[in-house]
Amino acid sequence: MKNLRSKGLILAMHLALLPLVSTPAHAVENAEAVYEEVEKGPNNGRMLRQGNFAIELAIYEDGVPPEFRVWASQSGQPISPDNVKVDVVLDRLGDVKDNIGFYQQEDYLRGDMAIYEPHSFAVKLNAEFQGKEYTWSYDNFEGRVVINDEIAKASGIKTEKAGPANIRKTISAYGQLISPIENTRTISARFDGLVRKVHVNLGDDVKKGMPLLTVESDKSLNSYTIYAPISGVVTNRNINTGEQTKGKELLRIVDKKSLAAELFVFPENRSKIQLGNPVSLVIEGVAAPIEGQIDYISPEMDGLEGVAIRVSIKNQSGSLSPGAMVKGTVTTNIHEVPLSVKRDGIQAFRDFQVVYAKVGTTYEVRMLELGEQAGEWAEVRGGLEPGTEYVTSSSYVIKADIDKSGASHDH
pLDDT above 90 covers what percent of the chain?
Answer: 82
Split into its structural domains, the chain has a count of 4
| End-to-end CA, the chain | 35
Residue 82 lies in a domain: yes
Residue 196 lies in a domain: yes
Are residues 94 and 151 both part of a single domain? no
pLDDT-based confidence at residue 134 (cuts at 50, 70, 90): very high
Residue 410 lies in a domain: no
Are residues 78 and 208 both part of a single domain? no
pTM of structure: 0.68
Are residues 269 and 175 both part of a single domain? yes
Residue 29 lies in a domain: no
Are residues 281 and 211 both part of a single domain? no
pLDDT-based confidence at residue 409 (cuts at 50, 70, 90): low
Are residues 52 and 129 both part of a single domain? yes
Residue 195 lies in a domain: yes
The region of weakest confidence among 22-31, 264-273, 309-318, 400-409 is 22-31
Closest Cα partner for 410 from 142, 143, 91? 142
CATH number of the structural domain spanning residue 226 = 2.40.50.100
| Helix or strand (DSSP H, E) at 252 | strand 251-254
Cα 128 to the center of its chain, rounded Å:
49
Are residues 311 and 394 both part of a single domain? no
Residue 268 lies in a domain: yes
Are residues 67 and 186 both part of a single domain? no
CATH number of the structural domain spanning residue 61 = 2.60.40.3340
Residue 5 lies in a domain: no
Are residues 296 and 353 both part of a single domain? no
Closest Cα partner for 406 from 74, 3, 1, 20? 20
Q: What is the pLDDT of residues 266-280, one digit of tens each?
A: 999 999 999 999 999
pLDDT-based confidence at residue 62 (cuts at 50, 70, 90): very high
Residue 26 lies in a domain: no
Mean residue pLDDT of the chain comes to: 89
Write the Ramachandran bin of 238: left for phi over 0, alpha for psi from -120 to 50, otherwise beta. alpha
pLDDT number for residue 338: 97
- CA-to-CA dists, residue 332 to 172, 269, 273, angstroms: 10, 10, 6
Are residues 292 and 174 both part of a single domain? yes
Q: What is the pLDDT of residues 274-323, one digit of tens each?
A: 999 999 999 998 989 999 999 999 998 877 779 999 999 999 888 898 99
Q: What is the pLDDT of residues 218-244, one digit of tens each?
A: 999 999 999 999 999 999 999 999 999
Range of the domain at 82: 39-140
Distance CA(402)–CA(142), nearest Å, equals: 8
Of 302, 334, 366, the last residue of a domain is 334
Are residues 174 and 305 both part of a single domain? yes
The region of weakest confidence among 150-154, 243-247, 280-284, 373-377 is 373-377
CATH number of the structural domain spanning residue 303 = 2.40.30.170
- CA-to-CA dists, residue 263 to 279, 293, 383, angstroms: 11, 12, 41
